[in-house]
Structure 1
Amino acid sequence: MDIGLFGGFGEKGRTSIAARSGATCLLMDAGIKVGAQGDAYHPALVWAASELDALLVTHAHEDHVGALAWLQGQGFRGRIFMTAETIQEAPATLAAYARPADLKANPFPRGQIEIFEPGETLSIGNMTVETGRSGHVVGGVWFAVDDGSSRVVHCGDVVPDSSVFFMDPIPQCDLVVLDASYGDDPVPGTDRSKAIADWIAMHPRGCLLPTPLSGRSLELIAAFPAAFAIHASMRDALHAQIATQAALRPGMAERLDEKLANAVDWRDGDALPEVPLLADDGMGQAGPSARLLPRAEAAGFPVLLTGHLPAGSPGQSMHAAGKADWIRMPTHPTRPGNVAIWEGAGRPMALGHSCPPADLQALHSHIPGLRVDSRTGQTFKL
């Protein structure tokens, strides 16, 4: 099997990896890189888009699906596979992050997408693709691609120790592509959840927490100790995520339903609330938080950022200026999680996506099978 690294290797963003065997070529994810300019915004197509038989999408965050319209513009005409939840969320992601000309020329192809459920096995050409729940978002999955002689697992974004979502164990394989977003970070999610709750308690007159609409929003709601508000536009999407109970840990749907029912709806133009306020997205790049961050800055309203901050994003600029605090809410594996994934996969060769080289080198000391020289644009034979 030939492996093509189209994006996300030696860098954060534009996650995209291809596997080719015989006459079949699959692409897993097609993301964009927030803050990048020119060609670096989209995947580096090692093989032509017209050669790809299928695109399989792990979930609807911008660094995994934001380049779909662009990929179609490059000549991709293959099959597209998504879960129902990803189909529902992807149009909003593309509206926020796809280049407008690309999206106008290639609108979201809802009617052409083939829907699968996490846990199904797909058959594409001479390959089979096992799928499993990722623990990252509702409808998020990992892929295990098998051509009869080799098996490659693409984790996408996974959270093995999420308190909200369930992750299925990945199978043993010859190559595992780890979600190395946090590098060698050893701090477990429970400690970070407590730190966030403590920070909120220190700001009793209200604060703003920008967050992605899917995934981390539910993690934060579960961690909130008391009353909170949400941007009103988020409520239906949050309800839909909670209703997909198969993705959640036992008892979590009921707990989240109760907390969401008691949350206050906040709308643009309302006074800033005296409780924690959730608004998407997490970087202040799009959605309600793009409007709220400048307002919070002008009013001296406390802001807590809890995820990745791409260079030049509004959230990163506020944090760099000392106008926003940052505590990571883990929605990717920390070091113990990735070690456990690698060992459960049979200690195979490993790559790490979404991680700068120095952090990948630090993680290598705990995962000896991890290659630290992999970069976007490379190919190799498994």
Structure 2
Amino acid sequence: MQRLHLQGGFGEKGRTSVLIDDGESRVMLDAGIKVGAAPKDYHPQLACAASEIDALFITHAHEDHIGALCWLIGQGFTGPVFMTPTTRAEMNATLDQYAHVSDLARFPSSNAMIELFLPGDTLSFAKQKIKTGHTGHVAGGVWFSVESGGKRTLYCGDVVPESAVFPMTAMPECDMMLLDCSYGDDAIPASERAKQIVEWVLARPEGAVLPTPLSGRSLELLAILPGPLAIADVMYEPLKAQIADPSLLRPGAAERITARLDTAHRWHPGSPLPACPLLVHDGMGSAGPATLALEMAEQKGHPVLLSGHLPEGSPAHRMREQGRADWFRLPTHPTLPQNKLLWENSGRPRLLGHSSEAKLLNAMQQALPALVTTAVTGDSIEI
């Protein structure tokens, strides 16, 4: 028997977190924050005292999956934290931007007992066996298959089955699947979205600002954008680090992206916006060089293209609502046909969707009849 506690990301986007209790140990999968949320909803809703959580497993270093790490330590968590080397390398940059300042100062990530593993490794904690595999979402990102009590739960984290840059490992059959439903019933393939973005950029030879997460979508954009381009200077070294290990990328991707990076103009925040596409992080305009770049673009009427999730209240969301920025989704999560195939290949198990509001889940139910659309953060489910 396993008991799943939905601690964040169910019926909502952000603060993704699940606790799996097999009666002998409690392992927590991800510890995210919810950008723009009220203080009570910013961190995961823990199902037990943090000191009673035995271990934490992190899928990747995006804020909605790791941003609450310092807070969790402050709540009393002292167990090991499992993550890949790439996630470890990107962790502090994410925490610096999204963790509360007091948590960073009092409970730094250096206090965590970090255990490293590689995508594809099988881990064990107490009697819980945790298999891992590439997600296609970011370099070093993983899914977790947790087997204990005679049951298997598959937690996808964020996945991209058909990324042009990152590989995705086939997932096993399971009893319960926690599926990345960020895009609801969106069925438009990545190739069509990429074409839309390229056409938009080519129609604006004066340049444009493209906010993007530092990991994941930045490399996807570098792989598709034509002609000259620029990146914020502080992005160069982190992006080079993401492609340093070719085994974390699809064949040939490292060479193509290295060539783009090495010829890109490096923009320093505060200098004039370049007359070419400019990549700046983060994708919401809430942190990093994107904050200033969007302010400058807004003042000058410079084109802005958004391509990902826009939390309500974020600068990027406001600009789109006011008609001061355009938006084309570049898929870094699965479309509905991809989710259906993932579910079928995993044996058509019971199904929960994370990172999605109920209205999006309802739109998916015809294609995914096993999908429970009423589960919300705070619920517990026994399998």
Shorter-chain TM-score bucket reads over 0.9
Q: Could you tell me how far apart the structure 2 residues matched to 1:244 and 1:313 are? A: 33
Amino acid at match of 2:93: A
Structure 1 residue 279 corresponds to structure 2 residue 280:
yes
Deviation at 1:77, TM superposition (A): 1.1
- Name the structure 1 match of 2:117: 116
- CA-to-partner distance for each residue in 1:25-73, whole Å, 9 max, x for gaps? 1000000000001210111112221111100000000000001111111
Within 5 A, what are the aligned runs for 1:19-168?
19-109=20-110, 112-168=113-169
The answer on whether the counterparts of 1:159 and 1:167 sit within 8 Å (CA) in structure 2 is: yes
Amino acid at match of 1:269: G
- Name the structure 1 match of 2:208: 207
TM-score, scaled to structure 1: 0.99
Deviation at 1:238, TM superposition (A): 0.9
- Name the structure 1 match of 2:217: 216
The answer on whether the counterparts of 2:30 and 2:56 sit within 8 Å (CA) in structure 1 is: yes
Alignment root-mean-square deviation, CA: 0.9
Structure 1 residue 304 corresponds to structure 2 residue 305:
yes
Residues 353/111 of structure 1: CA separation in 2 closer, same or farther (3 Å cut): closer
Deviation at 1:109, TM superposition (A): 2.5
The answer on whether the counterparts of 1:6 and 1:43 sit within 8 Å (CA) in structure 2 is: yes
- CA-to-partner distance for each residue in 1:175-194, whole Å, 9 max, x for gaps? 11000000110001110000
Structure 1 residue 368 corresponds to structure 2 residue 362:
no
Q: Could you tell me how far apart the structure 2 residues matched to 1:79 and 1:64 are? A: 16
Identity of aligned residues (%): 52
Q: Could you tell me how far apart the structure 2 residues matched to 1:171 and 1:111 are? A: 30
Q: Could you tell me how far apart the structure 1 residues matched to 2:368 and 2:379 are? A: 21
Structure 1 residue 236 corresponds to structure 2 residue 237:
yes
The answer on whether the counterparts of 2:78 and 2:112 sit within 8 Å (CA) in structure 1 is: no
SS at match of 1:319: helix
Q: Which runs of 5+ in 1 are unaligned?
A: none
SS at match of 1:81: strand
SS at match of 2:32: coil
Q: Could you tell me how far apart the structure 1 residues matched to 2:340 and 2:161 are? A: 11
SS at match of 2:237: helix
SS at match of 2:243: helix
Deviation at 1:145, TM superposition (A): 0.3
Amino acid at match of 1:53: D
- Name the structure 1 match of 2:289: 288
Deviation at 1:270, TM superposition (A): 2.1
- Name the structure 1 match of 2:251: 250
SS at match of 1:243: coil
The answer on whether the counterparts of 1:305 and 1:327 sit within 8 Å (CA) in structure 2 is: yes
- CA-to-partner distance for each residue in 1:128-174, whole Å, 9 max, x for gaps? 10000010000100000001500001100000011111000111000
Residues 124/43 of structure 1: CA separation in 2 closer, same or farther (3 Å cut): same
- CA-to-partner distance for each residue in 1:263-288, whole Å, 9 max, x for gaps? 11111232211100001110000000
Moved over 3 A (4+): none
SS at match of 1:214: coil
- Name the structure 1 match of 2:267: 266
Q: Which runs of 5+ in 2 are unaligned?
A: none
- CA-to-partner distance for each residue in 1:69-113, whole Å, 9 max, x for gaps? 111111111111011111111111111111111111100127620
Amino acid at match of 1:362: A
Q: Could you tell me how far apart the structure 2 residues matched to 1:61 and 1:26 are? A: 20
Residues 174/359 of structure 1: CA separation in 2 closer, same or farther (3 Å cut): same
- Name the structure 2 match of 1:353: 354
Q: Could you tell me how far apart the structure 2 residues matched to 1:50 and 1:111 are? A: 13
How many residue pairs match? The answer is 382
- Name the structure 2 match of 1:334: 335
Q: Could you tell me how far apart the structure 1 residues matched to 2:262 and 2:104 are? A: 36
